[in-house]
A = this chain, B = another copy of it.
């Protein structure tokens, strides 16, 4: 594979000039630039990335570590990050931690080894591994969930308030026994959504009971099981707040199997405005989170931190929007 010295030889200049010409640094004679460019094209020269990064001590790459590639919420974040990063010539490498602390840790190690310019991540429960980034001085931004023990830039959604509003909406619609299916304990969004749910019940002077609450993985199967359990009780819920769209799939499937009509028999509001939410019958009421915007904001914060890592950590909280549809109307 062609090296810079090959290009230099072909253009009849030194390697330094080739490097300067190709990177637009310093002033190089127009004619020489053209000659270098021509030689590079003819040889199909592509600079050796590792050599460049080794010398520069940094790669124009940001790592994005998300907890689930198959969750549209996170892929929308990814798209936001990508769009912003590309504008300024950075590449994004997408890593899937699968809610596993071990995989997250592994990807963080790789990010450090590869000397990426920065990291954006949706942290899983354990946080110890993130400390490594801080120790190394690698800029990073947390999205969706805060880091318990680290100071950092944060981009969050005001999910507790959103959960509260959604629950209040169910109350207002006249549902009596409102339940909640949320994510695993310790996952901040799951905890917050549960807290918001409880806030709303409290404001409405309803007593909340753990009998109407289930916590499971943020996946369809867990939610399916939870819904079956809840609905099989002597005093089943007549409405449910569901913490993400994959879970909503599980719940809807359970209702379908038991011949229970959403909206009429059991009111539903789920987090995340999936593309299919309007297609089910009745249309699903949702809490729409600004996922793409989370991505763009996080990317901009990261870029700012890459150029100045001394800036004080900031927290950006974005609002979510309740979209009332048929599934929460009797």
Contact = CB atoms under 8 A, between A and B. Distances in A.
A293 interface: no
Contacts of A115: 48-50
A105 to B, nearest CB: 12
A330 to B, nearest CB: 19
Given A220-B275, A253-B279, A276-B249, A50 B46 contact: no
B69 A75 contact: yes
Interface in A55-114: 59, 69-70, 72, 75-76, 78-79, 82, 91-96, 107, 109-110, 112-114
Contacts of A136: 1, 46
A49 B280 contact: no
B78 A44 contact: no
Contacts of A114: 49-50
A278 interface: yes
Contacts of A44: 132, 135
A69 B59 contact: no
B50 A79 contact: no
Contacts of A249: 275-276, 279
Contacts of A69: 69, 75, 78-79, 94
A252 interface: yes
A70 B59 contact: no
Contacts of A278: 253, 256
Contacts of A274: 276
A72 B274 CA distance: 12
Nearest to A60: B110
Contact of A94 (B53, B94, B110, B279): B94
A275 B246 contact: yes
A208 to B, nearest CB: 28
B72 A79 contact: no
A10 B82 CA distance: 41
A54 interface: yes
Given A93-B95, A249-B275, A279-B279, 5 more contacts: A46-B109, A48-B54, A49-B110, A51-B54, A249-B279
